[in-house]
Amino acid sequence: MSAPETSTPSAARVQPSIARARTGRIATSTAIHTVLFGYTIIALFPVVLVLLNSFKTKRAIFGDPLGLPFGKTFSAIGYLDVLHKGDFATYFTNSFVVTVVALFLIVLLGAAAAHALAEYRFPGNGFLGVYLIIGIMVPIRLGTVAILQMMVQLHLVNTLTALILVYTAQGLPVAVFILTEFMRTLSRDIKDSARIDGLSEYRIFFEVVLPLIRPVLATVAVFSMIPIWNDLWFPLILAPGEGTRTVTLGVQQFIGQYTVNWNAVLAALTLAIVPVLVLYAFFSRQLIRGITSGAVKG
Amino acid sequence: MTDIAPTGTPAKPDETARAPRRKMRLHIAVFLAPAVLIYTLFSIYPLIESLRLSLQSSVPGGEADYVGLANYAKLFFDPLWADQFLNALKNNVVMFCTIMVVQNPIGLVLAALLSLPKVRFTGTYRTLLFMPTLLSVVIIGFVWQLILSPLWGVTDGFLRAIGLAHAYKPWLGLEGSALFTLSMISVWQYVGVPMMLIYAALLSIPDELIDAARIDGLRGWAIFWKVKLPLILPTLGLVGILTYIGNFTVSFDLIYAVQGALAGPNFSTDVMGTFLFRTFFGQQTQLGDPHMGATVASVLFFIILAGVSVYLLAVQRRLQRYEM
Amino acid sequence: MAQLSLSAVRKAYDKHVVIPGADLEIADGEFVVFVGPSGCGKSTLLRMIAGLEEITGGDVRIDGQRINELGPADRGIAMVFQSYALYPHKDVYGNMAFALKHAGVDKAVIEERVSKAAAILGLEPLLKRRPKQLSGGQRQRVAIGRAIVRDPKIFLFDEPLSNLDAALRVQMRVEILRLHQRLKSTMIYVTHDQVEAMTLADRIVVLHGGRIEQVGTPMELYHHPANLFVAGFIGSPKMNILAGTVEAASADNATVRLAAGASISVPVGASPAPGAKVSFGVRPEHLAIADAASASITGTAQVVERLGGETLVHVELADGATLVVKTDGECLARVGDIVGVTAQGAHCHLFDEAGLCLPKAEKHVLAV
């Protein structure tokens, strides 16, 4: 029934039109890639420029900003300055501690609350669900005056604990929102089967639910990390002391102090940028999933 | 008939899970309490407390007195305050409009291109285009400050190279152009957000619907305008409200980093965030005032609340999410 | 009036060949069903006819005119999709009117055509509703209405009933059949469900691995399958296939010895020489349970499925092969019984080593 694969007379006539269609497609595709590539250059250029020049001599920074750091133009003087004049090791440790602890709390407490909202029917479930996600729309910064007063009373000013508490409160609404949506899609049967096996509700949460939603937890963590790591407002207000500065605040203060030392400024900026880029290289997939899941569900 | 509940009491399948009632209540509370507690203490309570503080006044060191809406009256009508407040509000609105008009159309175009079938390297483009969004606004502010600086001359040199030798001006330092320049920096950094949101929405449109449109005689741009765009309107609404909220809060970081708390030159880039910061902490000659700070924050709260309400009531209802 | 012809139509993605070359003639007003397992290329073939998929090689002609390069809207076709593909932002009227509006058809004409289609499908009370306010069956009706409004030369259906529940599927099947009788248009219908294929089609095209295995009326496929694949695909429960050897052959008959020992005479036109290996095929409904002492085939009843009106008995033969016998509901066989099985030779099939069916001596009366 099926014909052999030889070309029929009509196949010859087909060729020109296919060729025409193909050139049209190539033209369209070239145009698309020109736009996308062009904008990618715009997106990357400033960052690349700073990274490159942070490794150059002062003369090369001004004489040939676009050149690569190579041979005579190479210099790490900026980094030496930064290491001597600023306490970047402390800043990084602070940012790291604040971010990791806050993320741990956001993910764990957020997942527990989301599990309760998605799994059990109890009076006030609907209200609490709405209450917990109001924070997505109302920025926590608006309560800064009261937060500072409260931290003063709790003797938490200039401690990392203050930042951790505020960031946990700030991150919970989005985490609860995404996790509740996701947990509602989990099969009820698997939890019921765990109940029949005699697991307590706590063990069901830790041993059945959490492992099932691990990928989503990663997404939520990566997604919540960015605003915490990058924030300037709360470190500036709640923990501006030398010993509790985060990287963002540290860089900001450092640059304010050494504006004329271009090598040091560029090196400080690079130090702030690179860790984020490295993390992004590893976690871009989770991050993008987090953003898009919000778009599809929200 | 097949009731095998161990207690022997007839239970609907749905209720078997919460048969032992008292025990259930406790673990629900254990799951919820930590999140609710932290969130209430450090997010909701401060908001309400700020509203309360805005109704009080005090001299430094003294007791706080209830003054009703006097702080608001001062903010709106006392020329000392009103001028600054209106200036900051105006700048925020200008910045919001600029960003809406520039950033979101660019994001839409990029998303539309990325979502086309058979375009290669979309994953790479997506990752790279989104990269600036991740970096701290503070860092980005400094980076652009350097690039636009007359000292470095990168921008100057670039304009010379493309034949615009005299076009360069220190835009960030000029009253007329500083706010617009900052808006553009913000656009540069955040264009990835609308791009990603719109991209995701476009991808969620089923292929069969596009096939149906092709059968119905639509091609290329007509499919985009008549089928895809109406379907992603809810996402455009979401992008709008996110831009709105971000503009009234996060714009502080950029302006504080680039122009300082005084939002120079001559307050031409002052926004609600920097205004709030100065009011709360004081500036050169003026002492900080937590009650006026709380008042500014509360006004900002109502502005955002108004925006969100408009979005939820008008936009969200009309731009209903389509089941696809 | 539309007649469709495919000649040497080929589809390949880069080097991966999906359809190596299909030839098919569809007459005006015919209802043709493409059927086959998933991945057999039936949807790809339909989408090439629709213009949604580029044609790698060969010609598609409607009424003699080559349409390979025409856009989907210019081919005079309309398509109904599995997911209905209704525009969620338009109401029922808007969905049905969309193509005509885009083509710039006069408003009055649109209105007349939409209300006519709505009347045919009983959609009048729903015209102002949005797709999400409709049930699955109603959405499917709107999707069909959208096709009718365009007054196409050819209707294309891509698994249109797969998303409906079983009861609704039967009801919509009848409606589509009525629609075809009423409109008398050419219709091409893709499905993986052989019941839909058998009940709807004037002719069925069986596809497998991108190739057309057989084209014929439902009764032709049932009584005269071209090869083992079609024999196994059409009919439920599946045809029993047993290994055998030709013992004796004449001009209109062949005697086959089965591996299990029994000999059966099958009326085939051109028989291979004695000694040739063949596959012997017989449908469960053409077997009967008989007394073990007198029957030529005997075995042990392994499973007895009682459906009320009929009984399926799975009989294990001496060589380990299993025969499924469809018999009446009164059958008394129990699991473990030794039972005899008799076959109606006229309804048996022989397949050569390549899997092709040896032609029967006479055509079945329903398949001529």
- Residue-wise pLDDT for A37-54, tens only, equals 999 999 998 999 888 888
In a domain, B198, yes or no: yes
In a domain, A1, yes or no: no
Q: What is the mean pLDDT of residues A261-266?
A: 86
Instruction: Answer whether the bond into residue B265 is a cis peptide, omega within 30°.
Output: yes
> Would you give per-residue pLDDT tens digits along chain C (368 residues)?
689 999 999 999 888 899 999 999 999 999 999 999 988 999 999 999 998 888 999 999 999 999 998 888 889 899 999 888 898 888 999 999 998 988 889 999 999 999 999 998 989 999 999 988 898 889 999 999 999 998 899 999 999 998 888 888 898 999 999 999 999 999 999 999 989 999 999 999 999 999 999 999 999 999 999 999 999 999 889 999 999 999 888 888 889 998 888 888 888 887 778 888 999 999 999 999 988 888 888 999 999 999 999 999 999 998 889 999 999 988 888 999 999 999 888 899 999 989 999 888 888 888 77
C-alpha A90, offset from chain centre: 22
User: Which of C344, C343, C355 is CA-nearest to residue C226?
Assistant: C355
Phi, psi (rounded to 5 degrees) for B55: -95, 5
In a domain, B156, yes or no: yes
A106 and A227, same structural domain?
A: yes
Mutation pick from A2, A17, A18 vs chain C, by most beta carbons of C within 10 Å, is A2
Domain that includes residue A28, residue range:
9-53
Domain boundary among C214, C232, C250: C232
Domain that includes residue B25, residue range:
19-66
Tell me, yes or no, if A2 comes closer than 8 A to chain C by beta carbon: yes
Confidence label for A20 from pLDDT (cuts 50, 70 and 90):
low
C170 and C77, same structural domain?
A: yes
A184 and A100, same structural domain?
A: yes
CATH number of residue B97's parent domain: 1.10.3720.10
Are B212 and C72 within 8 A, CB to CB? no
A36 and A132, same structural domain?
A: no
Q: In what order do the strands lie in the sheet with C31-35?
A: C77-80, C154-158, C186-191, C31-35, C203-208, C211-216
Which residue in chain B has the smallest CA separation from A105? B35
Quick one: pLDDT at residue A93? 93
Please, what is the average pLDDT of chain B? 83
CATH number of residue A267's parent domain: 1.10.3720.10
C254 and C120, same structural domain?
A: no
* Higher per-residue confidence, A189 vs A114: A114
Quick one: pLDDT at residue C102? 87
Are C78 and B215 within 8 A, CB to CB? yes
Confidence label for B16 from pLDDT (cuts 50, 70 and 90):
very low
Out of A10-19, B222-231, B233-242, C132-141, pick the least confident. A10-19
C218 and C103, same structural domain?
A: yes
A144 and A280, same structural domain?
A: yes
State the burial class of residue A139 (Cβ atoms within 10 Å of its Cβ: 0-12, 13-18, 19+). buried
In a domain, A285, yes or no: yes
C167 and C187, same structural domain?
A: yes
Which residue in chain B has the smallest CA separation from A112? B31
Count CB atoms within 10 A of the CB of residue C195: 12
| Nearest CB partner across the interface for A142, out of B28, B238, B301 | B301
Task: List chains touching A (3+ CB pairs under 8 A).
Answer: B, C
Q: What is the mean pLDDT of residues A189-212?
A: 87
C75 and C129, same structural domain?
A: yes
Which residue in chain A has the smallest CA separation from C58? A11
Task: List chains touching C (3+ CB pairs under 8 A).
Answer: A, B
A174 and A227, same structural domain?
A: yes
B141 and B124, same structural domain?
A: yes
Residue listed under structure tokens 């960030």: B172
The number of domains in chain B is 2
Confidence label for B176 from pLDDT (cuts 50, 70 and 90):
confident
Quick one: pLDDT at residue A70? 79
Mutation pick from B205, B215, B321 vs chain C, by most beta carbons of C within 10 Å, is B215
Q: Is the dihedral of CA A65, A67, A69, A73 positive or negative?
A: negative
Quick one: pLDDT at residue B61? 66
* Higher per-residue confidence, A7 vs B313: B313
A172 and A42, same structural domain?
A: no
A83 and A47, same structural domain?
A: no
Q: What is the mean pLDDT of residues B35-39?
A: 95
In a domain, B6, yes or no: no
In a domain, A73, yes or no: no
Cα diameter, chain C: 79
Out of A65-79, B9-23, B114-128, B291-305, pick the least confident. B9-23
Confidence label for B138 from pLDDT (cuts 50, 70 and 90):
confident
In a domain, C16, yes or no: yes
C257 and C182, same structural domain?
A: no
Are A14 and C68 within 8 A, CB to CB? yes
Quick one: pLDDT at residue B12? 43
Tell me, yes or no, if B110 comes closer than 8 A to chain A by beta carbon: yes
Are B322 and C98 within 8 A, CB to CB? no
Are B131 and A47 within 8 A, CB to CB? yes
In a domain, A205, yes or no: yes
Domain that includes residue C36, residue range:
4-232
**Tens-digit pLDDT profile for residues A132-156:** 988 888 889 889 989 999 999 999 9
A279 and A168, same structural domain?
A: yes
Q: To the nearest whole angstrom, how far is the Cα of B321 from the nearest Cα of chain C?
A: 9
Domain boundary among C232, C259, C288: C232
C256 and C204, same structural domain?
A: no
In a domain, C367, yes or no: no
Domain boundary among B5, B36, B66: B66
Domain boundary among B39, B66, B93: B66
C189 and C311, same structural domain?
A: no
Q: To which H or E segment does residue C82 belong?
A: none
User: Which of C274, C212, C295, C280 is CA-nearest to residue C244?
Assistant: C280
In a domain, A60, yes or no: no
B146 and B57, same structural domain?
A: no
Distance CA(A183)–CA(A185), nearest Å, equals: 5
Quick one: pLDDT at residue C167? 87
A248 and A134, same structural domain?
A: yes
Inform me whether the pLDDT recorded for B320 exceeds 60.
Answer: no
Quick one: pLDDT at residue A6? 40
Inform me whether the pLDDT recorded for B153 exceeds 50.
Answer: yes
Inform me whether the pLDDT recorded for B286 exceeds 80.
Answer: no
In a domain, C8, yes or no: yes
**Tens-digit pLDDT profile for residues B42-80:** 999 999 999 999 998 877 666 778 888 888 998 999 988
Domain boundary among B50, B66, B82: B66
Quick one: pLDDT at residue B182? 93
B150 and B193, same structural domain?
A: yes
The number of domains in chain A is 2
Instruction: Quote the percentage of chain A above a pLDDT of 90.
Output: 31
In a domain, C97, yes or no: yes
In a domain, C183, yes or no: yes
The number of domains in chain C is 2
Residue B37 CB contacts under 8 Å (≥ 6 apart), including other chains: none
Residue listed under structure tokens 């400050």: B145
Quick one: pLDDT at residue A175? 92
C257 and C184, same structural domain?
A: no
Residue A186 to residues A190, B284, B293, C82: CA-CA distances in angstroms?
A: 8, 57, 45, 27
What spatial distance separates the first Cα and last Cα of chain B, rounded to whole Å?
A: 40
In a domain, C368, yes or no: no
Q: Which two tokens stand for residue A111?
A: 């997942």
Quick one: pLDDT at residue B171? 84
Quick one: pLDDT at residue A276? 85
C330 and C189, same structural domain?
A: no
What does DSSP say about strands C4-13 and C57-62: parallel, antiparallel, or unpaired?
A: antiparallel
User: Which of A291, A255, A290, A288 is CA-nearest to residue A272?
Assistant: A255
| Nearest CB partner across the interface for B323, out of C52, C77, C88 | C88
C208 and C172, same structural domain?
A: yes
C30 and C155, same structural domain?
A: yes
Q: Which residues of A touch B203 (CB under 8 A)?
A: 292
In a domain, B225, yes or no: yes
Domain boundary among C215, C232, C249: C232
DSSP C290-312: E-TTT-SEEEEEEEEEE-SSEEE
Helices and strands (DSSP H and E) totals, chain B: 17, 4
B216 and B231, same structural domain?
A: yes
Q: Which residues of B touch A298 (CB under 8 A)?
A: 238
User: Inter-axis angle of helices A88-119 and A247-257, to 10 degrees?
Assistant: 150
**Complex ipTM tops 0.95:** no
In a domain, C241, yes or no: yes
A83 and A23, same structural domain?
A: no
Contact in structure between C185 and C152 (CB atoms under 8 Å): yes
